[in-house]
Structure 1
C-alpha cells in the first residue's frame, strides 16, 4: 500500500534533485556532499563567515529553497549555516567575554507574502539555532538581483529598524552575502538601537568583485 501511494504521489508531484535534476529524489548523495561546509572569512569592519560558495550545486539548492518553495531543503543547508555560526562565534568569544545573540536579516513583506516563510529563520530552526528577531523592515525596496553594488546600497538604505538592544552583542544571519549592502543596513539599524554587532554568518557567499563590500 505504501509503495502504491508513493508511486501515485510521484506521478502527481514529480520530484527531482535540486542540485542536478536527477529524478525521484529531492537531493542526491553527490549533491548533498557538495554542500559540505568549508567556512571562509570575509574581512571588513564587520567580518562575515560563509560556509559555501554561491555557485553550482549550492546556488541551485538555495534558489530552490528561496524561489521554488522546496522548504525541505532547509535541512540540507542547516549544516552550512551552523558551521558558519560556529566559526563566527568561536572567533568572537575568543577575543571577548559574553554571549552573543543571533539575529536574522528580516524578510521583506513582499517576499514573505510570496513564499509564506522566512528563509534564514527556517534554516536556522533546522540547524537548532536560537535566534532573536530584533530587526524588521519599515519600507519596501526593489529586487536587488539586477542592481550593482552602489545601487544596492541606495536601495536598502533605511529599510530596517531594530528593537532597542543596548549592549547586546550580535551576530547577524543571512542566506547569501553578495555586495554587502543588506548586511551593512542590518548593522546600521542594530547599532542605532544600541547593539554591538561583532560579526555575520551566512550560508553562502558570492565571489567578491573588485570594490565589493562585506555584507549581503
Structure 2
C-alpha cells in the first residue's frame, strides 16, 4: 500500500541541475524495499519494484513533468557492490519496467562506498569518478535507489551533459 503513492519532487542539497522525484521517504516501506534489494539480495523484489517505477514514470508523464518514452539510465554503482548483490539492483528495476534502458554509467574502481560520507566527502569521492560507456540517443532519466545528498545524481547528470546527452530528470525509490 505505501509504495502506491505518487512520486513527488524533492530538492537534494547538491543540485543535479534537473528535477528530482522520489517515490517516498527513506522509511518503511521504501527503505525496506531498498534494503531487501541491496542487503538481502532479494532478486524477486526487483521485478515488483520495476512495476512500481513504471507506474511512477507513467504518472509523471501524464502530468507533463517528464517526457514520454525517455530512456532510463541507472545511476552508477561500484562493480564490487553489484557483484555482491547478484547484479545491479537499480539496473534490474529499470529493466523490469519494460522501458528502454541504457546502462552507460559506472564508477571508477577506486571510488569509496558513499554510505558513511557526508555531502562534501561524497562530492569529492565522485569528482571525476563517473565513467560513461555511451551516450543515450534519446532524452533520458537517471534512476537511483536512494537520493541522500544528490552527489551521485549531480555527478551522473554532469557526466551525461558533458557528452551531449539530454537529461530530463532523476527518479529515486526514496529520499533520505
Class of the TM-score when normalised by the shorter of the 2 chains: 0.7 to 0.9
Aligned to 2:158: 188
Aligned to 2:26: 54
Q: Quick one: distance in 1 between partners of 2:72 and 2:172?
A: 11
**Which of 62, 79, 90 does residue 51 from structure 2 map onto?**
79
Aligned to 2:109: 139
Q: Please tell me whether the aligned partners of residues 82 and 89 of structure 2 are also in contact (alpha carbons under 8 angstroms).
A: no
Aligned to 1:34: 2
Aligned CA distance change for structure 1 residues 99 and 82 (closer, same or farther; 3 Å): closer
Largest Rg, 1 or 2? 1
Q: Please tell me whether the aligned partners of residues 88 and 201 of structure 1 are also in contact (alpha carbons under 8 angstroms).
A: no
Q: Which residues of structure 2 form unaligned runs of 5+?
A: none
Deviation at 1:108, TM superposition (A): 1.0
Aligned to 1:15: none
Higher relative contact order (CA 8 A, sep 6+): 2
Deviation at 1:101, TM superposition (A): 1.9
Aligned CA distance change for structure 1 residues 189 and 35 (closer, same or farther; 3 Å): same
How many residue pairs align between the two structures? Answer: 170
Q: Quick one: distance in 1 between partners of 2:44 and 2:134?
A: 34
Aligned to 1:65: 37
Deviation at 1:68, TM superposition (A): 0.9
TM-score, reference length from structure 1: 0.70
Q: Which residues of structure 1 form unaligned runs of 5+?
A: 1-32, 207-216
Q: Please tell me whether the aligned partners of residues 70 and 100 of structure 2 are also in contact (alpha carbons under 8 angstroms).
A: no
Q: Quick one: distance in 1 between partners of 2:136 and 2:21?
A: 24
Deviation at 1:59, TM superposition (A): 0.6
Q: Quick one: distance in 2 between partners of 1:54 and 1:134?
A: 26
TM-score, reference length from structure 2: 0.85
Kindly indicate whether residue 101 of structure 2 is the aligned counterpart of residue 122 of structure 1: no
Q: Quick one: distance in 1 between partners of 2:69 and 2:47?
A: 26
Post-superposition Cα deviations, 1:184-209, rounded to whole Å, max 9, x if no partner, equal 11111111211121111111112xxx
Q: Quick one: distance in 2 between partners of 1:78 and 1:167?
A: 22
Q: Please tell me whether the aligned partners of residues 157 and 185 of structure 1 are also in contact (alpha carbons under 8 angstroms).
A: yes
